[in-house]
A and B are shown apart, each in its own frame.
Chain A
């Protein structure tokens, strides 16, 4: 079955007890593209990944991955995918190399090809020096890289990466982004989940915003931000007494009333003026003689996207539990 889509899902629904984790969820991901599922904890991201990777069965709805039906041909799906689950499920008591060889053998590559494939991947993910060290002695970033390597052992058509950078420090996150950039330019189809707009923006062609198990918005980062009206001008005053004056100046520059946070002595407003707006604002503040602690142009955060799409900030729900 030739389809231009590597992943297609129609009306996927999954209930755990009385809670609907995924509610008539539709998705299509074109071959060779990168799609990010963006949403807070408990929004249904992991459930969507579990259904599409055949780890769980939907209550309703259908889906195909690499042309294989997730309900009627789960083995076909599993042959075509690589999954990096949320907690880097590499084996602590095996070495990096042993982990990859084992995955290769379970993909029925054979022992020798598994070994050479493991060597290649360790090299590619800069793990050659740690290849024969037990994974329990790896750093968080190394574990994630090994986890990614493990998903690539059988050269899958479609990769599922569930929150690939959660729990990493900023340096580890940057390293992992570089690795993912490499995968993306290699032409793999990737579905990743994330809680960070910045990450979705950096890695994905297409962003699906998900909340309470439903798709609430879709587009590339630019169009989502356009829905928000652009970047944000953000000022933190040195003194409490200046907040009102700064808010007034911001309103004059941006043309709309800013959001004021008195406790943080900050004022924020959405602008399409870009760097020019920053320059104008800096001049105005300087001539008004206001002392400023911080001044800059910010990208909207996931919170801002949610605020604009739903009228409420994202609520972290209970992490998605398996049903008892």
Chain B
């Protein structure tokens, strides 16, 4: 057990060194969220009015946090797909280490990687005028929710990498499925403004739920819980936690299984 942890840490450290030495692979975790904060705050800021009033810049932050963390799926998926492509997975598996260590190492490195966008977005938000209006306890809960969400998404990334296998295919899935999914949500606009089918999808989309939960916990515009409407909108924190638990219970074992099958052939 101790050696399995030590092995995971060796592989996690390697992942962190990779990130430092290939900064262009960090664009989605650094420049992109900052750019989105600035673009949406200043380009759309005047045109969109959050439900219940308040500043759009403050409404925006919960959405951009949720979207950027969702893109984190690709950090781990790409790292695994690249390791498979260049043979690193084979080399690791020819060594006398626990096979779980490779996955655990990647998961750990990507969990640590996600601290970067969370920190940078918070700073960018504070600069454009976002503030936390709630209690310290709620703010801590908001950041804990983000970390839990990232941890769950990492296993979706592992599953994705085991199913599609090549870095190119990972990029393809990113663009075709995940990118739109982050927009059919309350990320940038309130769900009320969406047409019927999209609106229903958005209302039950976990990205909406995480965005609204963060708005609620930070005391930002759009965070007031409605008295009627779908259960997911009335209880965004509980609904987000359910998603996180569901992904961990269902996706994580599937992901580990798919990964094991993909390497033992």
Contacts and interface: CB of A to CB of B under 8 A. Distances in A.
Interface of A: 16, 53-57, 75, 78-79, 81, 83, 85-87, 89, 91-94, 98, 102-103, 105-108, 134, 150, 322-323
30 contacts: A16-B265, A54-B94, A55-B93, A55-B94, A75-B96, A83-B91, A85-B87, A87-B86, A89-B87, A89-B90, A89-B91, A91-B14, A92-B86, A93-B17, A94-B14, A94-B17, A102-B14, A105-B6, A106-B92, A106-B95, A106-B97, A107-B95, A107-B96, A108-B3, A108-B6, A108-B96, A134-B21, A150-B91, A322-B262, A323-B265
Nearest to A108: B3
A91 B90 contact: no
Contacts of A56: 264-265
Nearest to A76: B96
Contacts of B87: 85-87, 89
Interface in B1-18: 3, 6-7, 10-11, 14, 17-18
A16 B264 CA distance: 12
Interface string B159-184: 00000000000000000000000000
B22 interface: yes
Contacts of A134: 21
Contacts of A108: 3, 6, 96
A237 B93 CA distance: 54
Contacts of A79: 96
B264 A91 contact: no
A102 B264 contact: no
Interface string B1-44: 00100110011001001100110000000000000000000000
Given A85-B90, A108-B6, 5 more contacts: A55-B90, A85-B87, A89-B90, A107-B95, A108-B3
Interface in B72-112: 86-88, 90-97
- Chain B, interface residues (CB within 8 Å), range: 20 to 34
Interface of B: 3, 6-7, 10-11, 14, 17-18, 21-22, 86-88, 90-97, 262-265
A44 B143 CA distance: 52
A107 B95 CA distance: 7
B94 A106 contact: no
Contacts of A323: 265
B94 A103 contact: no
Contact of B94 (A81, A91, A102): A81
A56 B264 CA distance: 5
Given A57-B264, A102-B10, A323-B265, A93 B21 contact: yes
A126 B7 CA distance: 29
A237 B234 CA distance: 90
Q: Decide if the interface of chain B is mainly helix, strand, loop or mixed.
A: helix
A53 B94 contact: yes
Contacts of A91: 14, 88
Contact of A106 (B7, B17, B21, B86): B7
A87 B92 CA distance: 14
A91 B82 CA distance: 11
A227 B122 CA distance: 75
Contact of B17 (A85, A98, A107): A98
Nearest to A56: B265
Nearest to A84: B91
B21 A85 contact: no
B209 to A, nearest CB: 35
Contacts of A54: 93-94
A79 B3 CA distance: 14
Closest A-B pairs by Cβ, 7 of them: A89-B87, A83-B94, A78-B96, A79-B96, A323-B265, A89-B91, A93-B21
A79 B95 CA distance: 7
Contacts of B11: 106
Contacts of A150: 91
Choose among A81, A87, A91, A103 the residue with the greatest number of B CB atoms under 10 Å from its CB.
A91
B187 to A, nearest CB: 33
Contact of A93 (B22, B92, B263): B22
Contacts of B86: 87, 89, 92
Nearest to A136: B21
A89 B14 contact: no
